Amino acid sequence: SQKIEQNSEALNIQEGKTATLTCNYTNYSPAYLQWYRQDPGRGPVFLLLIRENEKEKRKERLKVTFDTTLKQSLFHITASQPADSATYLCALDPSGGYQKVTFGTGTKLQVIP
Amino acid sequence: NAGVTQTPKFRVLKTGQSMTLLCAQDMNHEYMYWYRQDPGMGLRLIHYSVGEGTTAKGEVPDGYNVSRLKKQNFLLGLESAAPSQTSVYFCASNPRSGAGNTIYFGEGSWLTVV
């Protein structure tokens, strides 16, 4: 069965360092991979989408890589700030329609001042 | 600009009671969705709609019904609530199908069934 794995343990990182979160998947061939931010008690907020034929995508301090051979995406936040503390979800989309998107359980990031 | 608004935000139900969650979006989006989020599990799609007057089942539709009588509103109903339906419910919308268009989530509705 399709499976998305995100590290369930919280990631603690010092302010100013680069945070790297991992999303692994099995039995899946997504055409698109998305990353979301979710703050406690709030709904997810869409951050980035990367297509299967794209290796890397950047948006301000965010960088996402997508390796379809390794079946893995890495999400980087450079020069991390305490305001970046949140849970980050990855989601896999086989076809470009949200009705088929599968969400991961998320990894909690804590940036320590 | 309110975006996606869900009401109520919190509700406690007794087993067997019924209730309706309301989702309203002011972005003129065609597509709307209802998800539930449980500890240790990712967001799971309950029902969705691709336009006014249409609805379709998602991954976990049992025990829920939906209606989209107006384009801006998407209602999620629980006819006979069960403790297994204790969860956080999120409504979302996006303008059309296809990758690259942003999906917008509401703030969530916390439902406890006792």
Tell me the shortest Cα–Cα distance from A34 to chain B, in angstroms: 10
- SS3 at position B61: coil
Q: pLDDT (tens digit, 0 to 9) for every residue of chain B, 114 residues total?
A: 679 999 999 999 999 999 999 999 999 999 999 999 999 888 999 999 999 999 999 999 999 999 999 999 999 999 999 999 999 999 999 987 666 678 899 999 999 999
**Contact between B42 and A42 using a beta-carbon 8 Å cutoff:** no
What tokens does A57 get? 């995508």
Is B89 part of the contact surface with chain A (CB cutoff 8 Å)?
no
3-class secondary structure for chain A? CCEEEECCCCEEEECCCCEEEEEEEECCCCCEEEEEEECCCCCCEEEEEEECCCCEEEECCEEEEEECCCCEEEEEECCCCHHHCEEEEEEEECCCCHHHCEECCCEEEEEEC
Tell me the shortest Cα–Cα distance from A46 to chain B, in angstroms: 7
**Contact between A32 and B58 using a beta-carbon 8 Å cutoff:** no
Give chain A positions within 8 Å (CB) of B40.
Answer: 8, 105
Is B33 part of the contact surface with chain A (CB cutoff 8 Å)?
yes
Residue type, A77: I
**Contact between A98 and B102 using a beta-carbon 8 Å cutoff:** no
When scoring B44, B50, B103 by the number of chain A Cβ atoms within 10 A, the one with the most, hence best to mutate, is B103
Tell me the pLDDT tens digit for each residue of A40-89: 999 999 999 999 999 899 999 999 999 999 999 999 999 999 999 999 99
- SS3 at position B74: strand
